[in-house]
Amino acid sequence: MPDVSVLNVLLHGDAIGTITNVPGDQSIFAFSQGYIDNPRRPTLSLRFKDSLGGLITDIPKTQTRVTPFFANMLPEGSMRDYLALRAGVSSRREFFLLWALGADLPGAMILAPADGAELPPDEMDDDDDDERKKRIFRFSLAGVQLKFSAVKEAAGGLTIPVQGMGGSWIVKLPSTKFAGVPENEFSMMSLAAKIGMDVPDIKLVSLKDISGLPDGIGELKGSAYAIRRFDRADDGSRIHIEDFAQVFDVFPEDKYKRASMRNIADVIAAEAGQDDIAELIRRMVFNTLIGNADMHLKNWSLIYSDRRTARLSPAYDFVSTIPYIDSAKSALTIGRSKQMKDFSIEQLKYLAGKARLPEKLVTDTARKTVALFHEIWAKEKKNLALSSKVVDAIDAHIKTVPVAAE
Ligand SMILES: Nc1ncnc2c1ncn2[C@@H]1O[C@H](COP(=O)(O)OP(=O)(O)OP(=O)(O)O)[C@@H](O)[C@H]1O
Ligand SMILES: [Mg+2]
Q: Quick one: 164 and 80 in the same domain? A: no
Ligand 1 site: residues with CB under 6 angstroms? 106, 141-145, 170, 200, 227, 229-231, 243, 294, 298-299, 301, 316-317
In a domain, 138, yes or no: no
Query: Would the pLDDT of 65 be above 90?
Result: yes
- CB contact set of 345 (below 8 Å; sequence gap of 6+): 363, 366, 367, 403, 406
Ligand located closest to 74 CA = 1
Convert the pLDDT of each residue in 2-25 to its tens digit: 689 999 999 999 999 999 999 999
Determine, yes or no, domain membership for 346.
Answer: yes
Catalytic member of 294, 317, 342, 364: 294
Classify residue 137: in a domain, yes or no: no
CA distance 26 to 12: 27
pLDDT at 278: 98
Tell me: do 244 and 224 sit in the same domain.
no
Q: Which residues of 297-312 are buried (b: 16+ CB within 10 A; e: fewer)?
A: bbbbbbbbeeeeebbb
Q: 287 with 332, same domain?
A: yes
Give the β-pairing of 329-334 and 337-339. antiparallel
Q: What order do you get walking across the sheet with 210-211 strand by strand? A: 202-206, 223-228, 169-172, 147-152, 158-159, 210-211
**223 with 244, same domain?**
no
Instruction: Tell me which residues have their CB within 5 A of the ion that is ligand 2.
Output: 143, 299, 317
pLDDT tens digits, one per residue of 81-96 = 999 999 999 999 999 9
Which of these, 183, 385, 406, 189, lies nearest to 290 by C-alpha position? 189
Boundary (domain end) residue, out of 178, 207, 228? 228
291 and 350 both lie in a single domain: yes
The answer to whether residue 294 is catalytic is yes
Distance, CA 131 to ligand 1 centroid (Å)? 30
Mutate to test the pocket of ligand 1, among 78, 239, 256, 299 (most ligand atoms within 8 A of CB): 299
Instruction: Check whether residue 153 and residue 91 sit in a common domain.
Output: no
Distance, CA 119 to ligand 2 centroid (Å)? 28
The domain boundary, picked from 203, 228, 253, lies at 228
Q: What is the mean pLDDT of residues 181-190?
A: 98
Q: Clarify whether residues 255 and 202 are in a common domain.
A: no
Residue 171 pLDDT greater than 90, yes or no: yes
Q: Decide if pLDDT at 207 tops 90.
A: yes
110-160 pLDDT, tens digit per residue, is 999 998 788 888 887 666 788 888 888 888 999 988 999 999 998 889 999
- Whole-number pLDDT of residue 236: 86
Ligand 2 geometric centre to CA of 223 (Å)? 19
> What pLDDT shows up at residue 134?
83
Lowest model confidence (mean pLDDT) among 41-55, 112-126, 312-326: 112-126
Residues 218 and 246 in one domain: no
Are 224 and 245 members of one domain?
no
pLDDT averaged over the chain?
Answer: 94
Which contiguous run of DSSP H or E holds residue 360? Answer: helix 359-380
pLDDT at residue 217 in the model:
75
The closest-lying atom of ligand 1 relative to the alpha carbon of residue 229 is: 3
CA dihedral over 277, 249, 232, 30, signed as positive or negative: positive
Residues 401, 305 share a domain: yes
In ligand 1, the atom with minimum distance to the C-alpha of 294 is: 26
pLDDT (average), residues 166-182: 93
Tens digits of per-residue pLDDT, 253-263? Answer: 999 999 999 99
At residue 216, the pLDDT reads 72
What confidence tier does 165 reach under pLDDT thresholds 50, 70, 90? confident
Q: Which domain holds residue 191?
A: 147-228
Provide the pLDDT for residue 2: 64
In-domain check, residue 390: yes
CA-200 nearest atom, ligand 1? 1
- Work out the percent of the chain whose per-residue pLDDT is above 90: 85
Do the domain assignments include residue 254? yes
Instruction: Report how far ligand 2's centroid is from the alpha carbon of 109 (Å).
Output: 19
CA of 170 to the centre of ligand 1 (A): 8
123 in any annotated domain:
no
pLDDT in tens, 331-344: 999 999 999 999 99
Domain-embedded: residue 132: no
pLDDT interval class at 74 (50, 70, 90): very high
Is 34 part of any domain?
yes
* Residue 273 belongs to domain with CATH number: 1.10.1070.20
Q: Are 300 and 192 contained in the same domain?
A: no
Return the residue whose CA atom lies nearest to atom 23 of ligand 1.
143
Instruction: Pick the last residue of a domain from 113, 135, 162.
Output: 113
Task: Count the domains in the chain.
Answer: 3
Strands in 5-11's sheet, in edge-to-edge order, are 62-63, 26-31, 14-22, 5-11, 109-113
Radius of gyration of the chain (CA): 21
Ligand 1: which residue has its CA nearest to atom 30? 142
Closest CA to ligand 1's atom 17? 317
